[in-house]
Amino acid sequence: MPFPLKLQQHKALPGKTALDALEHWIALLPAADFEQTCGTLPYGDFILRVCRRTDKPQRDRSPVVLNLPNGIASQLSVAGAGDKTSAFDLLTLARRLVADPLRGGPSEIGIVIAGFHGAEAKRMAEALLAAVLAAIAEMPRYKRSRQERQALKLVRLYGAEPKDGFQRTFAEAEGNNLARYLTGLPPNALTPRLYRKRVAVLAKENGWRMEFLDTRALAQKKAGAFLAVAQGSPEPDAGIIHLQYHPARKRERGGVTLVGKGICFDTGGVNLKPANFMLGMHKDMQGSAVALGTLLALTRLQVPFPVHCWMALATNHIGPRAYKPNDVVTASDGTTIEVINTDAEGRMVLADTLALASGEKPALIIDFATLTGSCKRALGNAYSGVFTNRPEYLPGLIAAGRDSGERVWPFPADEDYDEFLESTVADTKQCHEEGIADHIVAARFLQRFVKHDIPWIHVDLSSGTHKGGLAHVPSDITGFGVRFALNLLLDKKLIG
């Protein structure tokens, strides 16, 4: 849902009267000129005396929280940043800055951007607004005794007044929050059938065309890779959702296709996961939620190019009908696949989804998936891995991660990795028996199903969860990918 939040912008800094009118304030000042800039604010001498007791504002990332000596003891969270502060560090600082002022659930807060000008002032303000929007987002809660907090209704912003009113920040935040909320739902509240119902509501609200390919339709398309995973489910609710956004000025060519892995729960199948590895496996659908959130953000911005979104929804069940190691199945493009490990189900459902999505011949395909543990072992969970069939995209992918604050790092995807997929009975193995370089091998497997030489980017969401939050996002579930994708499409203009 759109944020029921009003943003009031002021180019000038607040006076004493304005500062006394609110109980909760956030201020961001230049770390290099912190003391001088502090003197330009009401109660500046007092703020400076408190801050001098620590060097936190000069060190970035560490806000000072104090009460102003006015009649209502307004709380101020203040820190310093610099023009060389990276987007990730700035967003991390913003998350920490907004935490205390928002903890009590105020209906109004004030933000002060002092000592910055032009584009740099907008950058500072955008980071703080993004952190506020991420912090106030509702996540699934099922506790009987929980304290209801009132909604934040107004943000008064001083020191920055961009003409666009931060429209993109609101759109990105709405997409990210949707991805996080869906990912946080427990598995019994987000089965493929229930997921599809939620998407249908969103499609109606946003004017998207929606098609659902159920298992019967997929059988007609001979999508045996997807159906192998789905066949173990006691309920035949698996399928592929296809959503379409078209701009007001219809342009059929040159659009982008988003693809997401939507495994609503992953037991590992016949290759059953140990109990501790099965916890959290309801979040294995996060790739589909990120694809959906990106579609929502692009729709809110009314981008001038078509956007298709394909969501592969299934559950990897254990049972008498579940697929098995050494099964040979045939994908919708005719490729025969020898199953090696039923816990590598994500690449199976994505294989058919990518092949079907390629039929639209978009200008670009981006897929999102919590695909491999090996990517997380390689990078940790502060970065996500990226792969592409266009090596010339690599500098732009790194730059999009750096500029958006959702950092990515590319891995090689050379043809000689295909030796790990050689099968004696089928066209390809699903994965390698020993899991050697599995994130790379998985990307090589997926690339087989991207047809017509379409440019393709695969995002392995190793930072889909990060304990304590990541960048501006305060929840363990990060919704990583929406800001990255929008930077790639709108700033790097990857589709022209």
Q: Which residues are known to be catalytic?
A: 273, 347
Residue pair 221/272 in contact by the 8 Å Cβ criterion: no
Give me the residue label for tokens 């001498």: 45
Tokens of 89: 């560090």
Residues 264-292: b if buried by 16+ CB within 10 A, e if exposed: bbbbbbbbebeeeeeeebbbbbbbbbbbb
**Gap between the terminal Cα atoms of the chain:** 30
Q: How far apart are CA 51 and CA 57, in angstroms?
A: 7
What are the Cα distances from residue 318, in Å, to 268, 275, 434? 8, 14, 22
User: From CA 290, how far away is CA 261, in angstroms rounded?
Assistant: 9
b/e burial code for range 219-237 (CB count within 10 A of at least 16 → b): eebebbbbbbbbbbbeeeb
Query: Tokens 């600082």, residue?
Result: 93
3-state helix, strand, coil split of the chain in percent (to 5) is 40, 20, 40
Sign of CA dihedral 139, 61, 172, 11: positive
Q: Where are the beta strands (DSSP E) in 164-279?
A: 209-214, 239-245, 256-266
Cα distance between residue 375 and residue 176, in whole Å: 22
Q: What is the rounded distance in angstroms from the CA atom of residue 132 to the CA atom of residue 124?
A: 13
Give me 264's structure tokens. Answer: 């609503």
| CB proximity list for 477: less than 8 A, separation 6 or greater | 139, 180, 183, 184, 283, 286, 464, 465
Q: At what angle do helices 167-184 and 118-136 cross, to 10 degrees?
A: 30
C-alpha span between 226 and 217 (Å, rounded):
12
What is the C-alpha radius of gyration for the chain, rounded to an integer number of angstroms?
A: 24
Distance separating alpha carbons of residues 281 and 6, to the nearest angstrom:
37
Beta bridge partners of 313: 239, 262
Distance CA(78)–CA(64), nearest Å, equals: 5
Query: Could you give the CA distance from residue 290 to residue 175 in angstroms, rounded to a whole number?
Result: 8
